[in-house]
């Protein structure tokens, strides 16, 4: 039944988070063929979650979610919409495609975040609150967690990184850890900030470019997964 499928899917995700750190590969490509090829490389390297990146959704819509699920049925698939409106609708779209997780911007209207959470209770799709652009990260994370999001995702964006390469998403990790008890994901740029996030107890580490666009992405991803998992230390709750 549909309820049984939702239960099985949610149980699988819970078990994944119960053994952190989860390594999520951001498949930020323009075509599903490129994304599928890199997903296969990432799985062989040891990644845990597959992300349909925003560029791919912009280029090809929601169809890549279903294609990724069918290609790799044993791996959770996240749809990174960066939702700013109609939160419930993007949860519904994810569910229709068989996806497991979706993102809503923590900086979107309260109603958008809450509508996504409400729809997630019907479908079993997880809702991740992406903090890109949020000024008071701890306060907004606490609010979103109180409403019922499944994870907070700390996100220092690519444009921010270009403007100031001395900072990354780990800058907010400790304050947000004090604010919420739900899992926290961290968007990273390389193995250095990823290992730092893992050592401080981040439950999920996301990586895309430049690691996946390296000369030898398979080798880089293997090193990334190994060093991040070795660096992990549970957070104090």
Confidence of residue 93 (pLDDT cuts 50, 70, 90): very high
Confidence of residue 19 (pLDDT cuts 50, 70, 90): confident
**Would you state the structure tokens that stand for residue 149, as one six-digit string?**
């999001």
What local confidence, expressed as pLDDT, does residue 4 receive?
A: 45
Please give the average per-residue pLDDT across 147-174, as a whole number: 97
| 3-class DSSP string for 54-118 | HHHHHHHCCHHHHHHHHHCCCCCEEEEEEECCCHHHHHHHHHHHCCCEEEEECCCCHHHHHHHHH
What gap in Å lies between CA 68 and CA 236, rounded to an integer? Answer: 35
What gap in Å lies between CA 51 and CA 74, rounded to an integer? Answer: 14
What gap in Å lies between CA 41 and CA 179, rounded to an integer? Answer: 36
Burial of 13 (0-12, 13-18, 19+ CB in 10 A): buried
- pLDDT digit string (tens) for 113-155? 999 999 999 999 999 999 999 999 999 999 999 999 999 999 9
Name the residue with tokens 């700390």. Answer: 154
**Would you state the structure tokens that stand for residue 168, as one six-digit string?**
């990354």
> Residues 6 or more apart from 225 whose CB is under 8 A from it?
23, 45, 46, 47
What local confidence, expressed as pLDDT, does residue 236 receive?
A: 83
What local confidence, expressed as pLDDT, does residue 12 receive?
A: 60
Helix axes 110-123, 137-147, angle to 10 degrees: 40
> Residues 6 or more apart from 202 whose CB is under 8 A from it?
20, 21, 154, 170, 173, 184, 185, 186, 235
Task: State phi, psi for 197 to the nearest 5 degrees.
Answer: -65, -45
Confidence of residue 16 (pLDDT cuts 50, 70, 90): low
Q: Compute CA distances 131 → 6, 89, 157, 176, whole Å.
A: 27, 20, 10, 11
What local confidence, expressed as pLDDT, does residue 120 receive?
A: 96
What gap in Å lies between CA 50 and CA 68, rounded to an integer? Answer: 8
Q: What is the largest CA-CA distance in the chain?
A: 50
Whether the predicted pLDDT of 22 surpasses 70:
yes
- pLDDT digit string (tens) for 23-70? 999 999 999 999 999 999 999 999 999 999 999 999 999 999 999 999
């Amino acid at each position: 039944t549909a309820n049984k499928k939702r239960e099985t899917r949610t149980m699988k995700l819970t078990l994944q988070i119960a053994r952190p750190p989860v390594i999520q590969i951001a498949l930020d490509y323009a075509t599903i063929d490129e994304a599928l090829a890199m997903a296969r490389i990432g799985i062989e390297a040891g990644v845990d979650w597959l992300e349909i990146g925003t560029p791919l959704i912009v280029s090809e819509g929601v169809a890549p979610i279903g294609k990724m699920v069918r290609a790799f049925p044993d791996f959770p698939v996240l749809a990174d919409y960066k939702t700013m409106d109609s939160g419930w609708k993007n949860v519904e779209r994810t569910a229709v495609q068989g996806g497991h997780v979706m993102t809503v911007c923590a900086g979107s209207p309260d109603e958008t975040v809450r509508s996504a959470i409400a729809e997630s209770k019907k479908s079993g799709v997880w809702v991740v609150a992406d903090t890109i652009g949020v000024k008071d990260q701890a306060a907004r994370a606490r609010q979103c967690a109180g409403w019922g999001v499944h994870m907070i995702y700390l996100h220092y964006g690519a444009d921010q990184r270009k403007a100031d390469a001395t900072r990354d998403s780990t800058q907010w990790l400790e304050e947000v850890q004090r604010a919420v008890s739900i899992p926290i994901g961290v968007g990273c740029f390389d193995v250095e900030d990823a290992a730092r996030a893992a050592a401080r107890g981040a439950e999920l580490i996301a990586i895309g470019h430049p690691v996946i666009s390296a000369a030898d992405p398979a080798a880089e991803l293997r090193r990334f997964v190994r060093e991040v998992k070795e660096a992990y230390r549970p957070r104090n709750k």
